[in-house]
Structure 1
Amino acid sequence: MNALARAVRAGGKPAAPRRASVSGLAFAGICMVLFAASVAATLAQSLSMSAMGELPMPGGWSMSMLWMPTCGRSWARVALSFAGMWIVMMAAMMLPSLTQMLARYRDAVGSQVHSTQLALLTLRVALGYWVVWIAGGVAVFALGAALTTFELRSQALARAVPLAAGVVVLLAGALQLSAWKARHLACCRATPRVAANAAAAWRHGVRIGIHCGCCCAGLTAMLLVVGMMDLRMMAVVTAAITAERFSPNGARIARMVGAAALGGGLLLIVQACFSAAG
């Protein structure tokens, strides 16, 4: 009996920590591989879009071919192309912060389930999260396609686009400074209290997807109006989102980004007014 007790003390107790360590390393490795793959795919898509060129529009700006059924493409094909681009781009931008949220979830429920269950629950949370972002992409494409159609038909509307872009950036900056933004950011950073079962995992994934989408609404709007496949803007937005999640004082980072956006929006509005006057 004493020998058995010693064996348990010597060899039995470390088994769970070792399993947790292996599971954690596998999780981190998978996230790193997915992030690297999404970044590589985003770079490839950006190069492909650059090769397609842009359509010069009244008002001194250029429209991306992303929103138009050019070169014999149907609307269905354009929508599928946008969906693939949206998913890959969002993966590259959101995976760093999503990894942190998933790690918090794993810490919260990991002691209640074994490693295989934990992996399946983590996957379910991630799927719930991405369903929200995919739904957001559908709404973005519908709005972008409608605006593109109207801009091609109306020169007056096309000329107003640079000014409208400045207004959107200005409003996005104001949103960054709002209590609404701070509340959703706090929810993204909070340690979850959730049961370790499939239904709860799915609900948690959808919930953090909604909070994350609301939290990133202003930054996403800025990206869309400045240039969805602009790699520099993507890098800035990704850095801002990640800093808000990882910094000890994420709310302060959000306010700093908001102040910068307010300045950028005012500058774009001034530039648009001068261009219209000239």
Structure 2
Amino acid sequence: MKTTAALEPRHVSITSLVLAAAAILAWVVTISWVRASDMGAMPGTMGMGLLSFVVMWGLMMAAMMLPSVAPFVLSYRATLVDHRAARLTALALGYLLIWSAVGVLAYVVADWFGALASDRPNAAQGVAVATFALVGLFQLTPLKFRCLSHCRSPLGHLLHYLGFTGRFRDVRAGASHGWFCLGCCWALMLLMIAFGVMNVGAMVGLAAVIAIEKLWRHGETFARVVGVACLVFAVVVLFEPGLAPGLDPDGVNPMQNMGM
């Protein structure tokens, strides 16, 4: 028993290191992809097909979300008594499966945003304003804080997950947590499309916002501050549409020059 207890902190730190390494690898691959494509903050899907977009989106989600999901993974790990590595891998796969599936919807929205920026610039500016306003309002709703509470304090939900049985029980647990995480962060991901899907600066900024909301003890207050900031930003975009590159008509011209 003493030996097991002594090794426990090491196991926890190894799990944390694996999550950190996976997130770092996802960041490296994502940024390399952005540089290789030379696209950056542009409207729409930037000429990518559905499969390429979903793969890229999955990498982005791994980079942005894995650090903030660490408390849940560590809590879940404490309930496992065997095959921990395999079961934690299944848990992570279930979680990322939800966010990767969202990539299909993100593709449709990004494609629509890009077409709007190209064909109806005035309408695109209005949609940009509405997008930031929608995000700001959602950040202040009870649904946001219900889902955020789940992500911040997952211990109360572990008993439910422990009731899952069968070969895919860990995948189900990861997917279930992913749904709550999606409920908490879907609006912030909408900002990712408004800023331009491959906008590295926006990725880093939103990843920081998500981590602070979930990990900081004042995370709920911070979420409200972000909501108010988005409402202010919605007004600013009325005068500076370029602040929402994913809906900026001027961002279409470089794509057209590249034959896209």
Q: TM-score, normalised by structure 1?
A: 0.77
| Greater RCO, 1 or 2 (C-alpha within 8 Å, sep 6+) | 2
Pick aligned residue for 1:145 from 111, 114, 121: 111
Pick aligned residue for 1:93 from 45, 64, 72: 64
| Residue in structure 2 matched with residue 225 of structure 1 by the alignment | 194
| Residue in structure 2 matched with residue 255 of structure 1 by the alignment | 224
| Residue in structure 2 matched with residue 169 of structure 1 by the alignment | 132
| Residue in structure 1 matched with residue 162 of structure 2 by the alignment | 195
Is 1:209 matched up with 2:172?
A: no
Q: Look up the SS of the partner of 2:162 in the other structure.
A: coil
Contact 1:67 1:144 in 2 (8 A): no
Report the AA paired with residue 244 of structure 1: E
Distance 1:29 1:219 in 2: 26
Report the AA paired with residue 47 of structure 2: M
Aligned length: 237
Deviations 1:182-226, CA, capped at 9 Å, x for gaps: 011011122122327554423221111011111111111111111
Distance 1:22 1:173 in 2: 41
Contact 1:97 1:241 in 2 (8 A): yes
Distance 1:34 1:131 in 2: 15
Contact 2:43 2:113 in 1 (8 A): no
Deviations 1:103-134, CA, capped at 9 Å, x for gaps: 12123x14xx13xx222222221111111111
Is 1:122 matched up with 2:88?
A: yes
Query: Which stretches in structure 2 are left out of the alignment for 5+ residues?
Result: 242-247, 250-260
| Residue in structure 2 matched with residue 74 of structure 1 by the alignment | none
Identical counterparts, % of pairs: 25
| Residue in structure 2 matched with residue 25 of structure 1 by the alignment | 13
Alpha-carbon offset, residue 150 of structure 1? 6.2
C-alpha spacing 1:177/1:166, structure 2 compared with 1 (3 Å): same
Q: TM-score, normalised by structure 2?
A: 0.82
Alpha-carbon offset, residue 246 of structure 1? 0.6
Contact 1:68 1:148 in 2 (8 A): no
Distance 2:183 2:198 in 1: 21
Query: Which stretches in structure 1 are left out of the alignment for 5+ residues?
Result: 1-12, 55-61, 70-77
Deviations 1:25-70, CA, capped at 9 Å, x for gaps: 3312211211221111122122123x2588xxxxxxx635x3436x
Is 1:68 matched up with 2:47?
A: yes
Higher-Rg structure is 1
Report the AA paired with residue 80 of structure 1: L
Deviations 1:4-42, CA, capped at 9 Å, x for gaps: xxxxxxxxx222224434432331221121122111112
Alpha-carbon offset, residue 166 of structure 1? 1.7
Report the AA paired with residue 77 of structure 2: R
Contact 2:39 2:46 in 1 (8 A): no
Distance 1:226 1:130 in 2: 22
RMSD: 2.5
Contact 1:68 1:145 in 2 (8 A): no
Distance 2:104 2:146 in 1: 25
Distance 1:25 1:240 in 2: 24
Distance 1:100 1:267 in 2: 36
C-alpha spacing 1:150/1:171, structure 2 compared with 1 (3 Å): closer
C-alpha spacing 1:97/1:83, structure 2 compared with 1 (3 Å): same
Distance 1:176 1:183 in 2: 11
Is 1:81 matched up with 2:61?
A: no
Alpha-carbon offset, residue 147 of structure 1? 4.8
